[in-house]
Amino acid sequence: MTDLEARAAGRTGVLRRAAPALLGYAAARALGLLALALWSTARDRSAYTLLTARWDSLWYTGVAELGYGYEVRLPNGDVHSNLAFFPLLPWLERLGAAVTPLSYADAGFVVSLLASLAAAWGIFAVAEHVHGSRVGVCAVLLWAVLPVGVVQSMAYSESLFTALAAWSLYAVLTGRWVSAGALAALAGLTRPVGLAVTAAVWVAAIVACARSRGDGGAEGGRGARRAPGDGARRVLGVLLAPLGAAGYVLWVGHRTGRGPLGYLDVQAGWRNGFDGGVAFARFVAEKFTSFPAALAGAGLIVGVALLVWLYVVCVRQRQPLPLLVYAGLVTVLALCASSYFGSKPRLLLPAFPLLLPLARGLARLRASRAVPVVCAVAVASAVYGAFWLNGSGPP
């Protein structure tokens, strides 16, 4: 068998192992879209409009169609500028509209659907590498049936970012440093939280370098001789990783005339910033001023406690350091930002390593028990997603 044939066979094997996860993911998302269509029809609304032409989707298609420079001035003095939205998704929408008959919104929807499948495959690859294929399938299914999983099918950037992040982390775990850095750079062009992917690449590279030196040239402490040029590839990956986010932030600073602080000013116009969680804590505390709202406040506290517990379990189960760094930063940036609080659940969607402890538990169950559990959660997620998107506020 030639080297080319061996590589093709390897790719086929990887896809075959991932097939159950991808089929299960597609089924869960189809159920969610069906529930959304039925709920929206009952309310005389368009499910497709909710997915492609509301809230942030409009801002992305606006960038794709008209470019940057559009802003809205609110009566209270706030300025909402489209410079807040990173460019990779609009670029792909523009490309899709240029090479197909699709509109910008249609192209965004197609990108989201394809990216969500790529994200599911990347999550499987990471989980399989760490815990085995059964856990990989369970991790993908859990990501699919998250209460806010419907966002994965919207013309938003969460699915695209998660796909790039997952495959960058997989590249890190398998020692493909240039691929890891390039994917991290693309993730940095997708969302501000691309910083978490860059940090994961950097930390992994530092640890790999320290182990290599400590083992006298062996890689990973296992006595294996380091491949020629591995150090150079690692350095190149480290250099590539921050280019996407840094390049866009510097460009915004140049455009606004504010230098490196320009992007922070743009975010401030949206009342977004990082305050260490003070605004979120105040928001939760205000829920306890009346009895019905107190239930919501208690639910938020339980939710945050669950996230902390999952992260602690990830540490105890000795997840690879890149996953811990990535998941920790995504969680901190989501919870400690002073942004619209209703969006925090979707901001946590990319933190898929937090699902691995649950996936391990689910994988231990017999299929006769695991399947009904997943199906029940999928139905609940589909109904909640339909209710959520038909609400008054943006996700």
Query: How confident is the model over 87-97, as pLDDT tens digits?
Result: 999 999 999 99
Burial code of 53-74, b = ≥16 C-beta within 10 A, e = fewer? bebbbebbbbbbeeebeeeeee
In a domain, 327, yes or no: yes
Q: In which residue ranges of the chain is pLDDT below 50?
A: 217-225
At 15 the pLDDT is 80
CA 217 to chain centre: 35
CB atoms within 10 A of CB 328: 19
Query: How confident is the model over 101-141, as pLDDT tens digits?
Result: 999 999 999 999 999 999 999 999 999 999 999 999 999 99
At 260 the pLDDT is 81
In a domain, 8, yes or no: no
In a domain, 216, yes or no: yes
> Are residues 150 and 36 in contact, defined by beta-carbon separation less than 8 angstroms?
yes
The total number of structural domains in the chain stands at: 1
Containing structural domain, residue 147: 18-389
In a domain, 4, yes or no: no
Q: Which residue type sits at 269?
A: G
Contacts of 323 (CB under 8 A, 6+ apart): 126, 130, 169, 200, 314, 353, 356
At 3 the pLDDT is 52
Of 381, 394, 378, nearest in space to 148 by CA: 381
How many H helices and E strands in the chain?
18, 4
Contacts of 54 (CB under 8 A, 6+ apart): 394
At 212 the pLDDT is 80
Give the total residue count for the chain: 395
3-state secondary structure of 72: strand
Query: Positive or negative CA dihedral for 268, 272, 276, 279?
Result: positive
Query: Positive or negative CA dihedral for 386, 85, 185, 324?
Result: negative
Both tokens of 287, joined, read 């829920």
In a domain, 380, yes or no: yes
CA distance 7 to 154: 34
> Are residues 276 and 284 in contact, defined by beta-carbon separation less than 8 angstroms?
no
User: Backbone dihedral region of 223: left (phi > 0), alpha (psi from -120 to 50 degrees) or beta?
Assistant: left
CA 234 to chain centre: 24
At 215 the pLDDT is 66
At 338 the pLDDT is 83
In a domain, 343, yes or no: yes
CA distance 346 to 305: 17
In a domain, 7, yes or no: no
In a domain, 394, yes or no: no
